[in-house]
Amino acid sequence: MLEDRDLKSIQMARNLVQKAKKAQKKLVEYSQAEIDNLVAELAKAAAAEAKPLAELAVEETGMGIVEDKIEKNLLASTKLWDYIKDMKTVGVVRDDKEKKITEIASPMGVIAALVPSTNPTSTTIYKSLISLKAANSIVFSPHPSAQKCIQKSVEVLNKKLVELGAPEGLINCIDIVSLEGTSELMSHEDVSLILATGGSAMVKAAYSSGTPALGVGPGNVPVFIERSADLEKAVQRIMQSKTFDNGTICASEQSVVVESCIKDEVVELFKKENAYFLDADESKKVEKTIQLAHGGLNPAIVGKSAKKIAELAGIKVPNNCRVLISETDGVGQAHPFSREKLAPLLGFYTVDDWEEGCEMSIDILNYGGLGHSLGIHSKNEEVIRAFALKKPTSRILVNTPTALGATGATTNLAPSMTLGCGSKGGNATSDNITPLNLFDRRRIAYGVRDLETKQTKITDFDLKNSGDEELEIIIDKILEKLTQK
């Protein structure tokens, strides 16, 4: 039986969708210039509050690092705006005079958005900006453990919308959070699309709601260090990435795969960067802390520091320890260091050569990371190309921190907090989601040729022995008969 809270949450979802629908009908009357001005001002407003929003997120969730969350908020506002500002998303977006095809942007309408606790404020800012850039309104269902900071992010954006005289209800957030309310939001007939960023269960629920959805998959990202790499830079980049916001970005490295000929040097470089290599007994203790008895990831370690995780596991590490590393050779549930770990923890694998490294990386991806991302540090273009051709991922990140490269901070990929994993990851797209994914295209196509018909009986030809010209005549005859019916 539903409790009062659930009923209130359901009703709130319905009310906010209707409010968003009315606002979006007004927004579609805006020109491209008016839309762009709106989104530009929202980006500025979000950037101005990047620090207090980051502080609130860390305070509420207990995850991550304030300075890094500030950077994520800026990525989701100013850097994102710089990337999308010239995108055509209103009216005619393409006009091919030669082929006589014109494409017109058709906004989707109301977008439902699920927000994770790991990147709450940055994801809220990002989804708001890309939705409004495509002339859509949006309704958020916040993660319960990050509700306050998500609502505060919405308040910051709405305050600016009021100042700009924008329609009321363009950006909305459910105040009374429940699974029933979220389910009602996702399945509401007036919701056109779900932007689902969060745990696998929630993303699957979005895809099962009956509403079109753009979701993401888990990111069990391996990184391969090949013998030709600049080893010092490779290790520094991996450490920068894995410690960024205490590993809460799903594109951060989860396992390091190293060629045996460079292993000793790589290990020393990691130690130089204050990584701590666990011995066998310590590894077992940390493994029990990583993974719960039923096989799920322990939420108590997500976004926590290496020192804190060591304390939870009952082991002592140096105070300056930044990452815990465990040498392993297996992949699967019996090997917790081989899984996605949204914390400064790394599995460490040694292989004989790049071919074996390639296979090991695939094994790791098959254990919960299909379609997401892979990192490689190398100067050998042939090896890099071989990895790119063989790996079941959407992103191959070369000589860059994967957490920052996949999200567009250190690469020219689209700045994004929603990273599609394609069909291999059970997603509808492999893109870094942008406004271009959030509107339909209405196409005007002019006739450029007339269909010619030939008065020939199909039975006059032997299909098996017919040449291309004869087959063309047969096809024309079939089309003629079909048009006569």
Distance of CA 75 to the CA centre of its chain: 14
Residue 75 has what DSSP assignment? I
* 102: its two tokens: 């014109």
Which residues lie below 8 Å from residue 213, measured CB to CB, with a gap of 6+?
A: 186, 193, 194, 195, 196, 203, 206, 207, 428
What angle do the packed helices 306-313 and 280-290 form, to 10 degrees? 100
Q: Which helix (H) or strand (E) holds 275?
A: strand 275-277
Q: What helix, strand, coil percent values describe the chain, rounded to 5?
A: 50, 20, 35
Instruction: Please enumerate in sequence order all residues whose Cβ is within 8 A of that of 125, keeping only pairs 6 or more positions apart, or say none.
Output: 46, 73, 76, 77, 153, 157
Catalytic-role residue among 149, 173, 250, 358: 250
SS3 for 368-408, per residue? Answer: CCCEEEEEEECCCHHHHHHHHHHCCEEEEEECCCHHHHHCC
Helix then strand count (H, E) for the chain reads 17, 15
Q: Are strands 221-225 and 253-259 parallel, antiparallel or unpaired?
A: parallel
Q: Are 104 and 444 contacting, i.e. CB atoms less than 8 angstroms apart?
A: yes
Compute the chain's Rg from CA coordinates: 26
250 annotated active-site: yes
CA–CA separation, 323 and 145 (whole Å): 25
Please list the active-site residues: 250
